[in-house]
Copies of this chain bind each other. A is one copy, B any other.
């Protein structure tokens, strides 16, 4: 599925509005108006509103695959690798936070007939890389064996997203003013907190 300029222009507006007001909370007329195209173009290009969302997900999905194999295979200490992995994941997820938000909300519904197979497959793939890394570290005695490996990623992503979904609250709590300092906060303070958390968890002895 190749997308032309106009289609991408529409999808990028749709992404913002879907993330802001939800899929059901956004009308095709809103999208068309903000993207400066006629309403009919959405049906013309994508077939339907739902298929447009699927196009958006496929368009962004390429960015989702976290290629941390290279980070893992580097010559470094296990704890430094944890730092790098966490930083990498947070960066990726923050960059694609809008699409992730849409997926999170729509995936947790049972109604919608949107195809999430690729998303789930990618989640599985990413999990397996993490699993292998942790198990290797456990074998080498670097990591504790008490860790619930499948719940490590939820802690990383969960911390990020709970912060992001409640950013209005935490912005006030941390005296963050604008978008720039939000980015800074995510890439420094929040990343550091998650790094600390995961390193602590992986080395914690009951």
Contact = CB atoms under 8 A, between A and B. Distances in A.
A169 B104 CA distance: 12
A166 interface: yes
A151 B194 CA distance: 9
Contacts of A22: 22, 24-25, 105, 109
A192 B201 CA distance: 12
Contacts of A200: 197, 200-201, 203-204
Contacts of A170: 150, 154
**Contact-residue size bin, chain A (C-beta under 8 Å from the other chain):** 35 or more
Interface in A180-206: 189-190, 192-194, 196-197, 199-201, 203-204, 206
Contact of A155 (B120, B127, B155): B155
Interface of A: 20-25, 101, 104-105, 107-111, 120, 123, 127, 146-148, 150-151, 154-155, 157-170, 173-174, 189-190, 192-194, 196-197, 199-201, 203-204, 206
